[in-house]
Amino acid sequence: MVTIIFFLVFAISVLLLSALFFVSRIKPYCECEICKGYLSSSWSLEFKNLCDWYSHLLKKSPSGTIHVHVLGNVITANPKNVEYMLKTKFENFPKGKQFSTILGDLLGRGIFAVDGELWNFQRKMASLELGSVSIRSYAFEIVGDEIRNRLIPLLESNQNGSVLDLQDVLRRFSFDSICKFSFGMDPGCLKLSLPVSDLQVAFDLASKLSAERAMTVSPLVWKINRALNIGSEKQLKEAIKMVDILAEEVIKHKRKNNFSSQNDLLSRFMRNIDDDKLLRDIVVSFLLAGRDTVASALTTFFWLLSQHPHVIDEIRAESSRLMGETEKATLATFEEIRKMHYLTAALHESIRLFPPIQFDSKFCQEDDILPDGTFVAKGTRVTYHPYAMGRMESIWGQDCLEFKPERWLQDGVFKPQCPFKYPVFQGGVRVCLGKDLSIVEMKSVALALIRQFDFQVVAKDDTPKFMPGLTATVRGGLPVMVQERW
C-alpha cells in the first residue's frame, strides 16, 4: 500500500511539474491549419505518410520553413537554414536535453544523445578508429563474408515462386554485420532457418518505443507511464534491460579474454575506456546507426529498381566492364567497388528520395534568427527534413520526383552534392563518420544481388508507407520473388 501511494504521489508531482513546463513553453492548442491538421490527423486522408504531408507544406511555404506550434517545432527544408544549424551556428543548435530525455534510456551517454565534451571525446575516438585502414578492411571482410556465406545461400534457397520479405532479410543481414563489427558477436539472424535473436527483438522493440515518445504532442503521458512502470514504458524498460544484459555479457567476456588483439569497435574502444556503462552506450549507438540505416536504404533502393529496370541494366553493364562476366557469388573487390560511379550515383539518388533518417531535430539554445528570417526562441525544437528536401523543385529542379542517377554524374564520374542541400549524412561538425563504410556496404550488397538475381516485387505501391520509428521502415515489408540469373 505504501508503495502504491508513493508512486501515485510521485506521478502527480511529475504531472504537475511537466504540465507547468509544457504550458509555459508550448501553445497547447492552435487554430492554424497546420496544427489542426496534425492534431486531427486529417492529413492522412490525402497522404500516406506524415513526411509526405510535411513535404507538401514545405513546398508551399515561400521560405521552405513551417511552424507546428502544438509541437513547439520549426521544420525547414531550406539549405541555408540547414547550413546555419549544422555549421555556421552549430554551438547554438545542440541535440539538447529534450532529445536526451527521449532517447537517453536506450542510448545513454552514447554519441548520438549527448553534446559538449562527452560528444567531442567520442567523436575524436570514433574518427580515429573509423578512419583507419585496418577497421575499413575489417568491415569489408565482414560484409563480404555475410554476403557470400549467408545472404546469397538464403536467396538461392528461396526460389521457385516463393515470396520472401526482402526488407526482413536486409535487416537481418545488417544486424549480423553490425554486431560482428561493433561487438565481435554473431547473432546468426541470417542463417537459413531465419532464427529469432533475443538481442534483435529487444533492440527493435526498444527503438520503436523510444521513437513513439517523440511522436506525442506532450511528453506527459510517457513520463507518467515510465514513473508507474506501465504500458509501453514497461515494455521499453524490459527491452532495454535485455540489451543491457547482453551487452554486459559481451563486455565481461572480452575483459576476461585478450580484447587488445581483437578488431571490433568495442575491443578498440576498451583500450581507452574503463567505464563499462559508457562502452555499452557507445556501441549501442553504433548498433542503431549501422543497422537500421543500411537496411532502410537498401529496401527502398530495391523498390525503386523494380520500377526502373533500365537502372539495373546500367549497373550490370558497369560491373561487367570492371569485373567481367565472372562466376556467380564472386564479389567485387574494394577497388572495383570504388570505380563503380553509376552504382554510386544510383544509391545516392535513391537515398535522396528515401533517406533512412527522414528528419533530424536540434534544440535552439539561445534566441536566434535563421537565414530565411524565421525567429527561433530559446528552447524551440528546430527540425531539418531531408525527405522533404529531396522533393523540393527549388533544390533539385522540376524533375525532383524522378529517380535519375544521371543527375549525380559529370562526364560519367560521380560528383557529390552540397551536404546542406543533401543532408542525409548530416553535415558540418556532426557529419556522419560512418558514411564511407555504409556506402561501401550498400554497394557491395546491391551489386552482389543485382548481378546474381532477378527480383520481382509482389506489391508495387506507388509510394511506400512507412512505420513510425527512428529510421524509415516500410510497413508490410518488401515482398519479392527471387530468381537466379545463371
Of 449, 169, 483, which Cα lies nearest the Cα of 332? 449
Query: 0.85 cut: is pTM over it?
Result: yes
What separation in angstroms does the CA of 12 have from each of 49, 102, 201?
35, 20, 33
Only one residue has cell 562527452, namely: 118
Cell numbers placing 195: 532464427
Work out the burial of residue 308: count CB atoms within 10 Å of its CB; fewer than 13 is exposed, 13-18 middle, 19 or more buried.
middle
Binding residues for heme: 432
Residue 71 CA to residue 213 CA, distance in Å, equals 13
Burial 221-238 (b: 16+ CB within 10 A, else e): bbbbbbbbeeebbeebee
Binding residues: 432
3-state class (DSSP) for residue 449 = helix
Of 297, 359, 271, which Cα lies nearest the Cα of 51? 359
Show the beta-strand stretches assigned E in 328-372: 360-363, 368-369
Please, what are the averages of pLDDT over each run of 10 residues along the chain (486 residues)? 46 46 51 91 94 97 95 96 97 88 87 86 86 91 96 90 93 93 90 88 89 78 90 93 88 84 87 89 84 93 96 96 76 94 98 96 96 96 97 97 97 96 93 92 96 89 84 93 88
